[in-house]
Structure 1
């Protein structure tokens, strides 16, 4: 299934309906979160996977995200946040 998306403008606000892992650069300063380092991608060197990790925060549902352009799932209205969007 393909996901249709719409892009929110800067300054618009979207509320997380469910808990989520969010890149630290997106989490509001006033928000409580649990820090994690998640595997993102890997390179194989000498037949061993070497993972590149990203810093994220586990955020509870109900938090409002604002100030960045987010994409929303057109069907459900849930925010879609890609790590690469904020690099």
Structure 2
């Protein structure tokens, strides 16, 4: 009996899976950018929400706000993750 691993995997949580399921999931193009883990019969795929486009937009917005605040004499205390 052959089973095919479902392409719809719940990400960012541990799920029960065989080693074969893990291999199939890591070969799935939908999860190529994710980090895959297998430990004691459980599978986890973590998908990073931050991509280059988002980071670029974020940087432009931060720079614009800092420039405006500097020119307007507004004190800022900013944090970035």
TM-score bin (small chain): under 0.3
Pick the structure with greater CA Rg: 2
TM-score by length of 1: 0.24
More strand by share: 1
Q: Could you say which structure has the greater relative contact order, defined with CA pairs below 8 angstroms and 6 or more residues apart?
A: 1
TM-score by length of 2: 0.25
